[in-house]
């Protein structure tokens, strides 16, 4: 839910700084993903699994405090600035190639991320005999590999004519990592895990493009809900399909081939999103009112 809501919130409060704020948000998300698998086993060994699991209640409490502070600020009569231009209804998401391209990218990323987090520890233990500590560290490496892309992608994509190059590079990273884990898992496990982690650049890429290709917070809400709804629906099938193939065949080959092939729709999404990237909206204040300097109708590309 938070992932769906945060891009529209960024659009609403920081429309003139989409790349910078999205970079901070995605980097924080990636950093928060690194820590749990790294410390889960040591904390469990020292204090028991209940403490190892329950300590993450504190992070939810911190997020709740932030959400309550924002709600209190808006109730106090200090809502975020709004543009004076009338909202432009988004095109039908079922017919927009651009929106479907974003949905495909998020589906590819979600399927790979959830499958790797669900199955990588078991796979490494079974294939190369990794210990719980080693698999935890490799899972943290997988999450950490997404930190550089979380910083750079939201800052660079708004300056590119299109997102084709980062899309293709991310898909290639997914394929390389999956095939490396299949062919030579014990030779360079950290390299293959890190390569797969680089493919998660599709997540910040999709999130920043949701805001770049919408003109208002309302459009961003609708697009974010559609794109991430489709993406999470597809992503939920990844761990199930991976495990089912392993059970049916008795080996990991079909499962990892499936994971490598799951990145194949990304070039099609790049084709649908090949139109030049809109420039981030610039705004100025006139007598306390924010005025858009960019025509909202130019934000959509089908």
Domain with 57, as residue range(s), is: 2-298
pLDDT at position 109:
94
pLDDT at position 301:
41
For residue 233, give the 3-state DSSP assignment: helix
For residue 148, what are the CA distances in angstroms to 159, 172, 257?
Answer: 17, 17, 27
Q: What is the CATH number of the domain that holds 38?
A: 1.20.1250.20
pLDDT at position 101:
92
**pLDDT tens by residue, the chain, 302 residues:** 777 888 888 888 888 888 888 888 888 887 777 778 778 888 888 888 898 888 888 888 888 898 888 788 777 765 555 544 444 444 455 458 889 999 999 999 999 999 999 999 899 998 888 888 888 888 888 888 888 877 888 888 877 777 888 899 999 999 999 999 999 888 888 899 999 999 988 988 898 888 888 888 888 888 988 999 999 999 999 999 999 999 999 999 999 999 999 999 999 998 888 765 555 544 444 444 343 334 333 444 43
Instruction: Kindly compute the dihedral angle of the four CA atoms of residues 199, 200, 203, 204, in this order, to the nearest 10 degrees.
Output: -90
pLDDT at position 257:
95
pLDDT at position 255:
94
pLDDT at position 294:
40
Assess contact for 214 and 278: CB atoms under 8 A. no
For residue 261, what are the CA distances in angstroms to 54, 68, 167, 237?
Answer: 37, 43, 15, 14
Angle of helix 189-198 relative to helix 132-144, nearest 10 degrees, comes to: 30
pLDDT at position 286:
41
Query: In the chain, which ranges are E strands?
Result: 283-286, 289-292
Work out how many domains the chain is built from and give that number.
Answer: 1
Query: Any residues with CB less than 8 A from the CB of 276 and at least 6 apart, and which?
Result: 161, 162, 301
pTM of the complete model: 0.74
């Amino acid at each position: 839910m938070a992932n769906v809501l945060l891009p529209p919130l960024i659009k609403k409060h920081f429309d003139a700084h989409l790349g910078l704020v999205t970079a901070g948000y995605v980097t924080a998300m990636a950093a928060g993903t690194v820590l749990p698998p790294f410390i889960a086993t040591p904390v469990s060994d020292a204090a028991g699994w209940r403490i190892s699991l329950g300590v993450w209640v504190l992070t939810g409490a911190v997020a709740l405090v932030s959400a309550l502070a924002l709600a209190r600020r808006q109730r106090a009569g200090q809502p975020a600035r709004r543009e004076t231009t009338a909202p432009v209804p988004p095109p039908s998401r079922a017919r927009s190639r651009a929106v479907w391209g974003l949905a495909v990218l998020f589906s590819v990323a979600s399927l790979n991320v959830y499958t790797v987090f669900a199955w990588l520890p078991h796979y490494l233990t079974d294939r190369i005999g990794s210990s719980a500590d080693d698999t935890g560290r490799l899972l943290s490496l997988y999450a950490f590999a997404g930190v550089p892309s979380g910083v750079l992608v939201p800052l660079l994509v708004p300056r590119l004519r299109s997102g084709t190059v980062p899309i293709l590079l991310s898909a290639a990273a997914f394929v390389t990592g999956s095939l490396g884990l299949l062919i030579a898992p014990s030779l360079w496990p950290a390299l293959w895990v890190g390569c797969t982690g680089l493919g998660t650049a599709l997540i910040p890429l999709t999130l920043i493009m949701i805001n770049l290709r919408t003109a208002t917070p309302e459009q961003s809400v609708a697009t974010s809900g559609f794109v991430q709804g489709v993406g999470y629906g597809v992503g939920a099938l990844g761990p199930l399909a991976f495990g089912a193939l392993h059970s049916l065949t008795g080996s990991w080959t079909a499962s990892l081939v499936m994971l490598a092939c799951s990145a194949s729709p990304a070039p099609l999404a790049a084709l649908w999103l090949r139109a030049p990237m809109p420039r981030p909206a610039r705004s100025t204040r006139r007598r306390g009112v924010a005025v858009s300097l960019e025509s909202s109708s130019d934000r959509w590309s089908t």
